[in-house]
Homo-oligomer: A and B are copies of this chain.
């Protein structure tokens, strides 16, 4: 067997419904028309017609098609679900790498990953090929893949790259016109930060989510497909690493809130230099935290 006939099955049920709305004994429209109704090609329609004839729901003879009886409910074809597995492969893959702390230079077996994530092998290969563009995985000389992994070098390069992108975003944000949605978002974020600050003693773990929202907002002012693509990966990696490092979490998060607020202050004051300085300070802290979380893991 090759590909699934899910498309045919869905079309068949659609046509069944459609026939249900026709007069018994009346004519069934042309193949092209039915193709439009079901949103598939004529080839699929003809397969459906063949089955409809076989089941005795219609008669079919050249271009003479008649509805013989009203289709019953159990004439419908069952559609095999399970169409969400490949959805968030990226998320699940990175989650696996980070959660289980898969070491650098681990050989990745397409077959094994395919089972683990219940995704067909060829989809995994395409996915890995995509990741290789980010330097996260690489091809091995004689076939197969390997995880280049979260080494110290990787973390440094990632942080530096993030800094380049985000300082650029901050610079652009200060130039955003008054009506730009960023200002509303920033104002909301300020309140969210002040709110969390007031109850940081107990709810400090909520910061991780807030951090993600904050950086996403900053970067949203840059409409650039290249940057956007990277941002997804970057934020995911930073997110997970912060969850890792449990040492001094409350203090770190409290400090980060202040740093965020400083950035918001400078942005709202339309102070490019001040915003850049504040952002730089915050990104330096982030980098340190990322590196220390790696060290922590190496020792553990």
- Which residues of A approach B to under 8 Å, CB–CB? 122, 125-127, 129-130, 132-135, 154, 157-158, 160-161, 164-165, 168, 223-227, 229-230
Contacts and interface: CB of A to CB of B under 8 A. Distances in A.
A129 B122 CA distance: 11
A129 B230 CA distance: 15
Interface of A: prevailing SS: helix
Which 8 A-B pairs have CB atoms at the shortest separation, nearest pair first? A135-B225, A126-B129, A129-B129, A133-B133, A157-B224, A161-B226, A164-B168, A129-B130
Contacts of A225: 134-135, 154, 157
Chain copies in the assembled complex: 2
A226 B126 contact: no
Contact of A157 (B122, B125, B226): B226
Contacts of A226: 134-135, 157-158, 161, 230
A161 to B, nearest CB: 5
A179 B132 CA distance: 33
Contacts of A168: 164
A248 to B, nearest CB: 29
A130 B164 CA distance: 23
Please indicate which of the listed interface residues A129, A160, A161 has the most CB atoms of chain B within 10 Å of its own CB.
A129
A59 B160 CA distance: 62
A163 to B, nearest CB: 9
A227 B161 contact: yes
Given A125-B126, A126-B126, A164-B165, A133 B224 contact: no
Contacts of A229: 133-135
Contacts of A125: 122, 125-126, 129
A75 B132 CA distance: 42
B135 A133 contact: no
Nearest to A41: B142
B129 A224 contact: no
A160 B226 CA distance: 10
A125 B164 CA distance: 31
